[in-house]
Amino acid sequence: MGRIEYLHKLLKHRELSARELAKQYLDAIDRDNTALNAYVNVTREEALESAQKADEAFRKGEGVGLLTGIPMALKDNISTRGTETTCCSKILRGYKPLYDATAWSRLKAQGAVLLGKTNMDEFAMGSSCETSCFGPAHNPFDISRSTGGSSGGSAGAVAGNLAVYSLGSDTGGSVRQPAAFCGLVGLKPTYGAVSRSGLVAFASSLDQIGPMAQTVEDVAIVFDAIAGADPLDSTSSKTYVPQTFKNLNNDIKGKTIGIVPQLFSEVSSEVAQAVESALKTFEGMGINLVSIDIPEIHYALPAYHILACAEASSNLARYDGVRFGHRTGEGFASVNEMMIKTRSEGFSQEVKRRILMGTYVLSKGYCDAYYKKAQLLREGLSTAFEKAFEKCDAILAPTAPTTAFRTGTQLSPVEAYKADICTAPVNIAGVPAVSLCCGYSHHELPVGMQLIGRRFGEEAIMNLAYKFQQNTDFVRTADWGVRL
């Protein structure tokens, strides 16, 4: 049983009130967030008010679901009406959206209790949660190490028992890599499965909101709640209605898992050993293994960075100091000078670097050489994944090439970008993947593996992940926060 179901039973049988539960989490945040820096904005009053409404719903026995009264967190790039949403950037300090993101509005309608907004790499650009203007989030398993990025605060909040579950966003691995570093389950859904309305855009053709929690059951419950068609997002699927949680206990005997050698080429020996051990576990559960060659994966990471930076340079052009967010306070002689100073002050070095890269690959004379070639590579990789799934039901691979590295490591940009080497191909192809813990390093740090599925194949990969969790003992909680 996942934590959501467990807490739901306590609330339903009145063994615990939603207000008491919310207060426990808020008190734990007050105590532990200084060390973990998972939250950048705690919504105490709103949380207690939502919890009070949940208690009334339980008393009346009306409008109660599994998520009613359950405390959760949102990444700070998911819009919340009237609550500051900064993307952890100086340029958006003080910005309060006029509307809720669709994913959040669906959870709110089911009685979810929002504890606050979580730390992240600025505008979701990073793999360490160190580019945040609020400082880095710290890994609950070892606070000297990174939570991963960009959804590092969302992962840290759940792993540190400061939220039951959280939502992050995944553009090139930003849900799965933090989930791997923090020993969680993190789902990157099929592109179009979850509405992007209200998600502050980084790269619109790659971004996808996804849930993180400690168990597959909890992630399945949340995914089913937020997925589905949305008229506010033209890229959302019009027909997809998942029943992931309902189908978690389906038989997996005789299913086939594919192993792609290219996804193991850059990983550490500890990560490779843990994933290979997981493969043996699946074999013992009656799963067939098959090797599948996808040479196009070698080009996925450069293609990803070209496409992501190109879209970022366009999406971030709106932050100019004219309409909302930061505006330079220094003297300026023209509107153009004001915009230059505003953007120079408001964006970090990493965001500036990606905007410049994206502007370059879209510029006259270089668009054909870079951007258009990257689009062709994207089509080729998507086709290669489709062909791979003719031979298997899912692909198993490492989530990240290493376990959590120390904060302040000062990786070069190229080294930092290689953190996405196992995850970016999934975003390029638009397919779903779920990361879960498959072991621990000699430093007792979690090792993550990911199960990759065909488009809208979340039920299949989540069922495999569920069976793995049921047959192993890798779900552990760090010694922080609320222990229920």
Per the CB < 8 A criterion, the answer to whether 419 and 268 are in contact is no
Instruction: List the chain domain ranges.
Output: 3-254+465-470, 298-374
Please give the C-alpha separations between residue 29 and each of 78, 164, 482, in angstroms, as whole numbers: 20, 12, 9
Number of residues written out for the chain: 484
Nearest to 18 by CA among 47, 42, 60: 47
Per the CB < 8 A criterion, the answer to whether 96 and 86 are in contact is no
- pLDDT tens by residue, 411-470: 888 888 899 999 999 999 999 999 999 999 999 999 999 999 999 999 999 999 999 999
CATH 3.30.70.1350, applies to 3-254+465-470: no
The helix, strand and coil proportions of the chain, stated in percent and rounded to the nearest 5, come to: 40, 15, 45
H helices of 15-169, in order, are 18-36, 44-60, 102-109, 152-159
Quick one: DSSP state of residue 366? T
- pLDDT tens by residue, 224-244: 999 999 999 999 999 999 999
Q: Which residues contact 134 (CB under 8 A, 6 or more apart)?
A: 37, 40, 88, 119
Q: How far is CA 211 from the centre of its chain?
A: 6
- Per-residue pLDDT at 483 exceeds 90: no
Q: Which two tokens stand for residue 342?
A: 């505003």
Task: State the residue for tokens 């705690």.
Answer: 42
- pLDDT tens by residue, 349-396: 999 999 999 999 999 999 999 999 999 999 999 999 999 999 999 999
Q: For residue 211, what are the β-bridge partners?
A: 167
pLDDT of residue 390: 97
342: helix, coil or strand? helix
Per the CB < 8 A criterion, the answer to whether 73 and 33 are in contact is no
Kindly name the residue from 127, 150, 154, 435 that is annotated as catalytic: 150
Does residue 174 carry a catalytic annotation? yes
Kindly name the residue from 17, 75, 237, 255 that is annotated as catalytic: 75
Q: How far is CA 118 from the centre of its chain?
A: 12
Q: How far apart are CA 313 and CA 325, in angstroms?
A: 18
HSE of 399, CA atoms in CB hemisphere, 13 A: 38
Q: How far apart are CA 156 and CA 407, in angstroms?
A: 14
Q: Which two tokens stand for residue 220?
A: 């399945």
Does residue 234 carry a catalytic annotation? no
Cβ count within 10 A of residue 234: 10
Kindly name the residue from 89, 128, 151, 174 that is annotated as catalytic: 174
Task: State the residue for tokens 């029943």.
Answer: 243
User: Average pLDDT, whole number, for the chain?
Assistant: 96
